[in-house]
Amino acid sequence: MRDLPASVLDAPLPGPDRMTRLQRLLACCAFASIAGCPGSDPRVEAVDAADTLVASDTLPASDTLPAPDTLPAPDTLPAPDTLPAPDTAADATPDVADTADASDVADVADASCDSPYIYLKDKQFWLGDEPFVPISVNFIFDLRHTPEDEYYIAPHHANCDTPAGCCNDAPSCLAAAREQLAQVKAMGFNSLRIVGLAVIPDEDRKLVLDCAHQWPTWLDYCPKDAMLEAWPPDPRALDLIADAVALVKEAGLRGILLAGHHDVDAADVRDAYARYLEALATRFKDEPTLWAYDLTNEPVYEFANKDISKVDANAIGRLWYDAVRAGSPRHMVTMGLAEIGTVRHWDPGALPLDFTSFHIYGSGTWNDAVRDYLSTFLTWAGREPYPNMVGEIGVSVEDGGPSEYQQQAFAQHALDTAWACGSMGLQWWLYRDVHWGPPGEHFGLVRWDGSERPAAAPFKAFYPITPRPPCAAPEYLGSAPDATIHTAGRLVREDGTPVANGFIRGQKCFTGGSDWTISAADGTFDLRSTSLISELEVTASGLSVEKVAIVCNLTTPGDVTLKALPLDMATSTPSSCPE
């Protein structure tokens, strides 16, 4: 379609039916459920190891996930007065989790907590006295502008195969958004990652909310002077975000808001972005519908400083975390990070965050190798000390690619494995198919015509069993499990203690590219590769990045020492019943 602004069009994509043990349990027990862009997506292809992500010529690189049903009664969440009432009265009472033995999820919940705000304790989200497990989906809003210089919120135009994109004026777009969000709720989701309302630097390096220009029956690019400045904030910008949040609340859902997009880390805008974050958090400090701000989307793809040092990344993260915390003590801070290789630069162990959101994809396929990759990633994430959830995950149904039932199998595996391996929740990419140009148009759990795909079924049936089942790690954690060239060594700290769960990347001698693996509990590693290795690059969360030349395996790495870094990791996560 010709309808999206260039800034939206340039945003990267996030980028057989089976009955599980859980579904059999549900058949026996009456449990309630707990509850950017077109063009080819670089994340659905293997990425050369020299790039910002880790890739292998044996297993392609990948990238995130959805949330459950737990909201307080409507009297604790008063309906906003910024939107007109729906035409028909709907029961917007949020579902409250009927939790099986919550003490198995965490040791003790705060007794008699009646706060409507979600908090984080013992690597588990809580809402009141019950665990809150986000079973969630990424949902895109549009901001539209009219020739009369009016603005309004709409569902993403590319979700629908019409020139005006799902709707053509404020009343029809409001109705369309309500209809889509009601479908999300009916599909068993309890929350959203709210996408499409993130600020971006424009060509003049001002932070703006970009928009689409709405003519009577079609969309066009927004005029430059119609984009609303985020800093200093145009009051209309925050009002429009409030309208979207009000729709999410009305649907009985919770949300994580993606706050910034593209190169907000650049030196000429990062301070302005911090001031915007404080203003944003201040505006919504009393709004429990939002429980976290996602600072940005996949720095290794979007940022100006993709190969930044961990110390410098920590300083930027510190600036932004403190900005949100200055605006609100009750909302959490996360960042959408892509792939295990992010640990080399935008390291979750070097960023002051309340929890980490990982983006994981299947490289456009569904087979045993991709299944093992997802399991490897989720195993690695579960062994890290910080709480995490899956912020994006998915696979697109394509001609000659994965079928709808393979997409369903992917979704089932993602849900089961993420929960077993310690993830706090999952946000599927994407709610609905998009017209962005292939590949990557069919990640949706809902087709263009509004009908549900089979992949929606696992989310509707999912129930987070406690205690969690065992995390079933693959036999080998790495990119080339069947390769025959071995490079062995050990990761240690400066005091000689082993570094578990470290990342080892080997650059190949003759063919280019790389392979990678993860260190064991005793710090040892055995890198399997399809070629001799010229150099190792090794690191671990919160520790230095070291390079070791081994000259096409003529030498061995032996012990590799990773150094402590001067990182400011202090956080003030809301970890008890918020007032």
Residues 253-271 pLDDT 10s: 999 999 999 999 999 999 9
249 and 216: one domain? Answer: yes
Asked if 282 contacts 325 with a C-beta cutoff of 8 angstroms, the reply is no
214 and 277: one domain? Answer: yes
Report if residue 171 sits inside a domain: yes
Average pLDDT over residues 13-17: 33
Query: What is the domain range of residue 526?
Result: 485-562
Report if residue 572 sits inside a domain: no
Taking only the tens place, the pLDDT of each residue in 129-152 is 999 999 999 999 999 999 999 999
Q: What is the pLDDT of residue 217?
A: 86
Asked if 503 contacts 560 with a C-beta cutoff of 8 angstroms, the reply is no
What's the CA gap between 132 and 35, in Å, rounded?
6
445 and 528: one domain? Answer: no
Last residue of a domain, one of 446, 461, 476: 461
Burial class (CB in 10 A: 0-12, 13-18, 19+), 400: exposed
Q: Which of 508, 459, 467 is nearest to 20 (CA)?
A: 459
140 and 246: one domain? Answer: yes
Asked if 56 contacts 515 with a C-beta cutoff of 8 angstroms, the reply is yes
Q: Name the one residue in this structure whose structure tokens are 């079933």.
A: 472
Q: What is the pLDDT of residue 235?
A: 94
Average pLDDT over residues 103-132: 81
What's the CA gap between 195 and 182, in Å, rounded?
17
78 and 166: one domain? Answer: yes
What's the CA gap between 177 and 35, in Å, rounded?
22
Question: Does residue 272 register a pLDDT over 50?
Answer: yes
Report if residue 577 sits inside a domain: no
3-state secondary structure of 381: helix
Taking only the tens place, the pLDDT of each residue in 455-472 is 999 999 999 999 999 999
What's the CA gap between 289 and 331, in Å, rounded?
10
341 and 395: one domain? Answer: yes
Question: Does residue 186 register a pLDDT over 90?
Answer: yes
Report if residue 450 sits inside a domain: yes
22 and 114: one domain? Answer: yes
Report if residue 574 sits inside a domain: no
Q: Can you give the CATH number for the domain in which 554 is found?
A: 2.60.40.1120
Report if residue 473 sits inside a domain: no
Average pLDDT over residues 272-283: 98
Reading across the β-sheet that carries 485-493, which strands appear in turn? 524-529, 485-493, 558-562
β-pair partners for 393: 360, 428
Highest mean pLDDT among 53-57, 87-91, 299-303: 299-303
DSSP 478: B
Q: What is the pLDDT of residue 111?
A: 65
Between the CA atoms of 476, 482, 486 and 492, what dihedral angle is there, to the nearest 10 degrees? -20
376 and 508: one domain? Answer: no
Asked if 150 contacts 144 with a C-beta cutoff of 8 angstroms, the reply is no
Asked if 484 contacts 528 with a C-beta cutoff of 8 angstroms, the reply is yes
In this predicted structure, which of 36-45, 123-132, 541-550 has the lowest mean pLDDT?
Answer: 36-45
240 and 124: one domain? Answer: yes
Question: Does residue 383 register a pLDDT over 60?
Answer: yes
Report if residue 475 sits inside a domain: no
Last residue of a domain, one of 411, 429, 461: 461
What's the CA gap between 53 and 47, in Å, rounded?
7
Q: What is the pLDDT of residue 438?
A: 82
Helix (H) / strand (E) element for 409: namely helix 404-420
Q: Can you give the CATH number for the domain in which 411 is found?
A: 3.20.20.80
Highest mean pLDDT among 16-30, 42-56, 129-143: 129-143
* pTM to 2 decimal places: 0.83
Question: Does residue 35 register a pLDDT over 90?
Answer: no
411 and 544: one domain? Answer: no
User: What residues contact residue 389 under an 8 Å CB cut-off, 6+ apart?
Assistant: 65, 134, 334, 355, 356, 357, 358, 418, 423, 424, 425, 426, 427
Report if residue 576 sits inside a domain: no
What's the CA gap between 249 and 80, in Å, rounded?
8
Question: Does residue 26 register a pLDDT over 80?
Answer: no
Q: What's the total number of domains in the chain? A: 2
Question: Does residue 22 register a pLDDT over 80?
Answer: no
What's the CA gap between 180 and 175, in Å, rounded?
9
What's the CA gap between 136 and 424, in Å, rounded?
11
Output the CA torsion sign for 469, 120, 282, 84: positive
β-pair partners for 338: 359
Instruction: For residue 561, report the phi and psi dihedrals to the nearest 5 degrees.
Output: -95, 125
3-state secondary structure of 293: strand
451 and 545: one domain? Answer: no
386 and 509: one domain? Answer: no
Q: Which of 451, 369, 469, 453 is nearest to 415 (CA)?
A: 469
